[in-house]
Amino acid sequence: MANIKAIDKKSKAQSMGMHTEVLTGRTQQKFFNPDEAENFYYFGTYDVDFNKRTELDVMNMSAPEANKEIDNLMSQGYGTIVIKNPQGKHSLGVGILNKLNLIFEGSLGYFGMGSCDGPIVRINGRVGWSCAENLMAGKVVIEKNAGSCFGAAIRGGDLICKGSVGARTGIDMKGGTIIIGGDAGAFTGFMMQRGRIIILGDVGINLGDSMYDGTIFVGGEIGSYGSDAVDSELTLSDQDWLRRKLKVAEIGEDFDVSKMKKIVAGKKLWNYDNLEPTEKKGAI
Amino acid sequence: MCGIAGLIHRGKSSNVGSELQGMLQALKHRGEDSTGYALYGDTDGKNFIMRFKVGENVGEGSSSVMEDVSVYDERKKIVDQTLAEMGAKIVKEERTLPYSLRYEIDFETKDLLDFSQRIESIPGVEILSMGKSLEVIKDLGNAKMVCDRYSLDKLVGTHAIGHARMATESGVDIKSAHPFWGYPFSDVSVVHNGQLTNYWNNRRVLENKGMRFMSECDSELIAVYIAQKMREGASLEEGMKDSLSGLDGVFTYFVATKDSLGMAKDTMAAKPLVLYESDDLVAMGSEEIAIRSVLPHEIDTYDPFDGEVKVWQI
């Protein structure tokens, strides 16, 4: 196993699929200045107590009504909320910008958990298209299958599906990690710009098509490679990272990561030298 | 955008009219310009059931026109006369709406092509479906409106497919609404969600082979394309698999026959489909909420992958 602590920062970042460690963007400099904590403030966020738990039955609620009630419960300090009877409704749990333990006892429709930043979510069912789109931080675990565009444009956090997912998983993703326990459909990693996708099963055609950057790890068979997607050497530090990630994700802990394939962009299509905030934290 | 839904009971019958109404109504936000049902009812299998229209219900963008009921009456008379000339006996007749009729016909034939051509040679007349189990009912409005208008909620059968339409490339009228009958095959119907980009190329080829198109809706091509493949000797599943390369564009579609239900998804997987499969029931729709309307308890569902074709028997 590679000794990650012994590797200098630049090499470590490169081995994890990131090209440089140079920060130049003003926004990101602000993000990492602890003296400017006010820049982290989100309007409409709450300090919640994880030990304060409640249940919410959304059977007879519309999605806006259910989301408004979740917001209301967070404003009362509830830090653990169990949602009963989601019944495949669309757009549940969107726009949560603070830490929260959120558990769905059932399946979600389209755009579930979209535009979130921080919650820890467990969905004891299936999710439809575009689950956790634009996720900034936090963790979303799906116990069953997921639809297409899973984790579209996420910028951070961990998105885990224990079953199989549809097409275009991680499309346009800009950071974070997506982990799939089963198979994935066509165009996985389409136009991904940063971050990592791990697929333990098989993956469909056009894997990583037009990817700018980032890394895709595949445990099973690959239908075909997309334009500009190429194989790369699976390093020891990759394997170490994969083992740790799968363990934390409670998925495929016994999986032989040494036989996984690593796919990266064959060309440097654009200069994406500025790391996302969460990736910066992970690399340091 | 459009929404499609379908279900098949294996080894038993159920109230498929009411079940499909619930599924399509759950998808009404995907389009409610028109809604269509293809219901496979329990029958004795002796007579043909012909659903046909002698006029249009016209909405936005349609090239058709509303006509006087007397015009419909005149067309109906000609249909009755033509049936008599062909030796087809009308056993039962229902006129749900002035322009929409349902006939049960005692008629012996294995080739419906000549039969259909003669009926549809009457101006303004279109056969919506022909079969010994299939009944296609389609009209303007959402699923509940059409179901109530045609009293479909009591229909018992084994399987059904349906479509909630948002009109895009053709007008709001019955002729452009789904499902489409797989002319001239008995008991074949198709619904589709997506866009076909080689519609005119395929249409010209198929018309040269004697197939007919009643609308300019690209979805009709799927029904005609598969019907032509079956005429050439292909099975339903073979015809559907062939369509993955023969049809260009993005699509998810269902095809139903007297005893089977199939789905196909294009190689880009650009159109949604959620599927539930058990030993006694298969239910599928553009969104999971459609399936939830018939199976409210927690179930395992999944998205079929790109280029996937599946067929189930009753």
User: For residues B294 and B7, is the Cβ–Cβ distance under 8 A?
Assistant: yes
Whole-number Å distance between alpha carbons of A185 and A271: 28
Considering only CA atoms, which of A246, A205, A245, A213 is closest in space to residue A232? A213
Cβ–Cβ of A109/B288 closer than 8 Å? yes
Residue B264: exposure state from Cβ atoms within 10 A (0-12, 13-18, ≥19) = buried
* Confidence check: pLDDT of A283 > 60: no
pLDDT digits 0-9 by tens, A140-155: 999 999 999 999 999 9
Considering only CA atoms, which of B186, B217, B175, B218 is closest in space to residue B116? B186
**Stretch A205-233: mean pLDDT, rounded?**
94
Residues of chain B with a CB closer than 8 angstroms to some CB in chain A = 267-270, 272, 274, 287-289, 291-292, 296, 298, 300-303, 305-307
Contacts of A106 in chain B (CB under 8 A): 298
Asked whether this complex has an ipTM greater than 0.90, the answer is no
* Confidence check: pLDDT of A40 > 90: no
* Confidence check: pLDDT of A36 > 70: no
Tokens, residue B244: 């993955």
Cβ–Cβ of A186/B292 closer than 8 Å? no
Please tell me which residue of chain B has the smallest CA distance to A190: B268
Query: In this prediction, what percent of chain A has a pLDDT beyond 70?
Result: 79
pLDDT digits 0-9 by tens, B148-178: 999 999 899 999 999 999 988 778 889 889 9
Confidence of residue A24 (pLDDT cuts 50, 70, 90): very low
pLDDT digits 0-9 by tens, B187-196: 999 999 999 9
Contacts of A183 in chain B (CB under 8 A): 305
Whole-number Å distance between alpha carbons of B249 and B228: 19
Q: Pairing relation of β-strands B274-277 and B281-285?
A: antiparallel
Contacts of A148 in chain B (CB under 8 A): 269, 272, 303
Residue B227 Cα distances to A72, B57, B187, B260, angstroms: 56, 27, 11, 15
Region for residue B32 given its phi and psi (left: phi exceeds 0; alpha: psi -120 to 50; beta: otherwise): alpha
**Stretch A52-80: mean pLDDT, rounded?**
97
**Stretch A236-264: mean pLDDT, rounded?**
93
CA distance B293 to chain A (A): 9
CA distance B1 to chain A (A): 15
pLDDT computed for residue B170 by the predictor: 78
Cβ–Cβ of A107/B288 closer than 8 Å? yes
* Confidence check: pLDDT of A22 > 50: no
**Stretch A13-41: mean pLDDT, rounded?**
49
Confidence of residue A8 (pLDDT cuts 50, 70, 90): low
pLDDT computed for residue A237 by the predictor: 93
Region for residue B235 given its phi and psi (left: phi exceeds 0; alpha: psi -120 to 50; beta: otherwise): beta
The helix/strand/coil state of A101 is strand
* Confidence check: pLDDT of A275 > 80: no
pLDDT digits 0-9 by tens, B231-261: 899 999 999 999 999 999 999 999 999 999 9
Cβ–Cβ of B288/A128 closer than 8 Å? yes
pLDDT computed for residue A274 by the predictor: 54
What structural domains does chain B harbor?
3-313 (3.60.20.10)
Nearest by CB to residue A164, choosing from B274, B302, B306, is B302
Nearest by CB to residue B292, choosing from A88, A144, A166, is A88
Catalytic residue among B1, B2, B147, B248: B2
pLDDT < 70: residue spans in chain B: none
Considering only CA atoms, which of B188, B186, B252 is closest in space to residue B219? B252
Higher pLDDT: A27 or A216? It is: A216
* Confidence check: pLDDT of A21 > 50: no
Nearest by CB to residue B292, choosing from A87, A165, A186, is A87
pLDDT computed for residue A269 by the predictor: 57
Cβ–Cβ of B305/A89 closer than 8 Å? no
The angle at the Cα of A279, spanning A148 to A235, to the nearest 5 degrees, equals 85
CA distance B142 to chain A (A): 20
Q: Tell me the helix, strand and coil percentages in chain A, rounded to 5.
A: 20, 25, 55
Cβ–Cβ of A126/B305 closer than 8 Å? no
Whole-number Å distance between alpha carbons of A245 and A163: 17
Whole-number Å distance between alpha carbons of B279 and B11: 9
Query: What are the phi and psi torsion angles at B252 (to 5°)?
Result: -130, 130
Whole-number Å distance between alpha carbons of B143 and B162: 9
Dihedral sign from CA coordinates of B124, B129, B131, B136: negative
Higher pLDDT: A252 or A122? It is: A122
Confidence of residue A25 (pLDDT cuts 50, 70, 90): very low
* Confidence check: pLDDT of A248 > 60: yes
Residue B63 Cα distances to B75, B170, B175, B216, B260, angstroms: 20, 9, 10, 11, 35
**Stretch A251-255: mean pLDDT, rounded?**
88
Q: Check residue A225 and report its DSSP letter.
A: B
One-letter amino acid for residue A49 of the chain: D
Let me know if B2 is a catalytic residue. yes
**Stretch A170-198: mean pLDDT, rounded?**
95
User: For residues B61 and B14, is the Cβ–Cβ distance under 8 A?
Assistant: no
Cβ–Cβ of B302/A110 closer than 8 Å? no
Residue A36: exposure state from Cβ atoms within 10 A (0-12, 13-18, ≥19) = exposed
The helix/strand/coil state of A178 is strand
Considering only CA atoms, which of A275, A209, A251, A260 is closest in space to residue A122? A251
User: For residues A174 and A195, is the Cβ–Cβ distance under 8 A?
Assistant: yes
pLDDT computed for residue A190 by the predictor: 96
Per-chain mean pLDDT for chain A: 85
Query: In this prediction, what percent of chain B has a pLDDT beyond 90?
Result: 77
User: For residues B272 and B30, is the Cβ–Cβ distance under 8 A?
Assistant: no
Contacts of A166 in chain B (CB under 8 A): 269, 303, 305
DSSP chain B: --EEEEEEESSS-B-HHHHHHHHHHHTGGG--SEEEEEEEE---SSSEEEEEESS--B-TT-S-----HHHHHHHHHHHHHHHHHTT-EEEEEEEEETTEEEEEEE---S-HHHHHHHHHTSTT-EEEEEESSEEEEEEES-HHHHHHHHT-TT--EEEEEEEEE---SS-SBSTTSSPEE-TTSTT-EEEEEEEESSHHHHHHHHHHTT----S--TTHHHHHHHHHHHHTT--HHHHHHHHHHHS-EEEEEEEE-SSEEEEEE-TT--S--EEEE-SSEEEEESSHHHHHTT--S----BPPPTT-EEEEE-
CA distance B266 to chain A (A): 11
CA distance B9 to chain A (A): 22
